Structure 1
Amino acid sequence: APGPYAPVRRPAPCPPVADRPRKMAVTRVEALTRDPYAVWARDILKLYPLDRPDEPVEARARGTAIHAAFEVFAETYPQDLPPNGAEIFEGLYIAELVAAGMPPSALARERALAHEAALWVMDLEARRRANAEKIVVEAAGEITFQVDGRPFTLTAKTDRLEPTRDGLAAHILDYKTGAAPSQKQVDTGFSPQLTLTAAILQNGGFPELGPRAPGDLTYVRVTGRRPAGEEQTRAKAGGESEDAARKAFDGLVELIRKYDEPTRPYLSRTAPQFVHDHAGDYGHLARVFEWSTSGDEGDGE
Structure 2
Amino acid sequence: MTDVQRLIRDPYAIYAKRVLRLRRLNPLMREPDAMLRGIISHEVIESFIRDVTDGKIANDPATLIAKAEEVLLREVPWGETRALWRARFARIAPWFTEREAARQLEAAQILNELQGKAEIAGLGLTLAAKADRIDLDHAGRYHLFDYKTGTPPSKDKQKHFDKQLLLEAAIAERAGFGDIGPRDVAGAVYIGLGPKPIELPAPLDEESPGQIWEEFTELATRWMDPTKGYTARRAMFEMTDVSDYDQLARHGEWDVTQDPDERPVE
TM-score by length of 2: 0.87
Query: 1:245 aligned to 201, 209, 218, which one?
Result: 209
> How far is the alpha carbon of 1:255 from its aligned partner?
1.4
* Cα deviation, residue 248, structure 1: 1.9
SS of corresponding position for 2:248: helix
Q: 1:173 aligns with which of 126, 139, 145?
A: 145
Q: Whose RCO is larger (CA < 8 A, sep 6+)?
A: 1
Distance 1:93 1:205 in 2: 32
Closer/same/farther in 2, CA of residues 51 and 85 from structure 1, 3 Å limit: farther
Answer yes or no: is the 8 Å Cα contact 1:61–1:100 preserved in 2.
no
Contact 2:55 2:102 in 1 (8 A): no
Q: Offset at 1:51?
A: 4.0
Match of 2:158 in 1: 186
Report whether the alignment pairs 1:151 with 2:124.
yes
**Matching of residues 1-301 of structure 1 within 5 Å:** 26-51=1-26, 57-79=32-54, 82=57, 85-101=60-76, 103-146=78-121, 149-167=122-140, 169-188=141-160, 190-223=161-194, 225=195, 227=196, 229-235=197-203, 240=205, 243-272=207-236, 274=237, 278-292=241-255, 295-296=257-258
**1: distance between equivalents of 2:128 and 2:165?**
12
Q: Equivalents in 2 of 1:88, 1:171: separation in Å? A: 24
State whether residues 59 and 101 of structure 2, in contact with CA within 8 Å, keep that contact through their aligned partners in structure 1: no
Amino acid at match of 1:216: G
Deviation at 1:279, TM superposition (A): 2.0
Structure-2 residue corresponding to 1:9: none
Q: How many residues align?
A: 261
Secondary structure in 2 matching 1:278: coil
Unpaired runs of at least 5, structure 1? 1-25
Supply the distance in 2 between the matched residues of 1:210 and 1:101 (Cα, whole angstroms): 38
For 2:97, the aligned partner's letter is M
Contact 2:59 2:97 in 1 (8 A): no
- Structure 1 residues 186 and 86: alpha-carbon distance in aligned structure 2, compared to 1, 3 A threshold: same
1:216-270 alpha-carbon deviations (Å, 9 max, x no partner) = 22110113x3x4x21111225xxx17x3322321121111211221211112111
Q: Deviations over 1:121-149 (max 9, x none)?
A: 21111011111112111011112231xx3
CA contact (8 A) 2:151 2:192 kept: yes
Aligned residue type for 1:281? D
- Matched position secondary structure for 2:208: helix
User: Aligned partners of 1:55 and 1:267: how far apart in 2?
Assistant: 32
Deviates more, 1:71-80 or 1:193-202: 71-80
Change (3 A) 1:178 1:53: farther
Indicate how the Cα distance of structure 1 residues 112 and 256 shifts in structure 2: closer, same or farther if over 3 A, else same. Answer: closer
The verdict on how the C-alpha distance between 1:248 and 1:62 changes in structure 2, with shifts beyond 3 A counting, is same
Cα distance in 1, alignment partners of residues 30 and 235 from structure 2: 25
Q: In 2 relative to 1, CA 250–71 (structure 1 residues): closer, same or farther, beyond 3 Å?
A: same
Describe the SS at the equivalent of 1:289.
coil
**CA deviation digits over 1:95-138, x for unaligned, max 9?**
43444436322333333322122222211110111111121110
TM-score (normalizing by structure 1) = 0.77
Q: Which has the larger radius of gyration?
A: 1
Q: Measured at CA, do residues 204 and 277 of structure 1 come closer, stay the same or move farther in structure 2, by a change above 3 Å?
A: farther
Cα offsets for 1:161-182 (capped at 9, x unmatched) = 1111111x21111101111112
CA distance in 1, matches of 2:55, 2:36: 28
One-letter identity of the residue aligned with 2:234: T
